Amino acid sequence: MLRLLGALALAALGGCAAGPVVTVRNRTAAPVAVAFWVSERVGGYEQTWKNMQGQSDRVDPGRSANFRLSAYRDAADPVLRMQVVTRGPSWEPAYNYWFEVVTSPPLTITLTGPLDKIEASASRGLVAPIPWARVPAERRAATLTPSPPPPAADAKTPRTPKGSR
């Protein structure tokens, strides 16, 4: 019995060595591309954007996807950001959202709402929307968006995600 428990404990520790897991549930009406970006919390807010490593996947509506964050394991004081880009009908714009995950994984994040107002909530902790103006220009279209969003005429552009004003 003790050997079995010891083997299970070692297996569990071995699984953690590859990095914690974040599960994303898509409760929106269309597929979304999701990427997690990990950085160290050094050098101030702007510096954390320069050092990010990303990994992405598509999550279909009503489905879930697991993200194993190997870069998170290696960060001493990590910053975890999540980028969500909608994949609605081809004639509609892709909406690009950024969130900061203010808790440590493992956790589950649920995406809800219409495509132009996606919100994220966590099984524990906080998932805070990052104001669009605080996302560096070089990151606004990073990895997931086929083309950058059009320039905003003002802070109230319809492409600004809810809660990001």
The CATH number linked to 92 is 2.60.40
40 in a domain, yes or no? yes
Count how many domains the chain has: 1
Residue 42: domain span: 19-140
165 in a domain, yes or no? no
Cβ proximity of 139 and 162 under 8 Å: no
CA atoms within 13 A on the CB side of 10: 6
Give dist(CA 124, CA 107) in Å, integer: 7
pLDDT in single tens digits along all 165 residues of the chain: 434 334 333 334 444 458 899 999 999 999 999 999 888 887 778 877 776 767 788 999 999 999 988 888 776 778 899 999 998 888 888 899 999 998 888 999 999 999 999 999 999 999 999 998 888 887 776 645 433 334 444 433 344 444 444
Buried b (16+ CB within 10 A) or exposed e, 94-132: bbbbbbbbeeebebbbbbeeebeebbbebeeeebebbeb
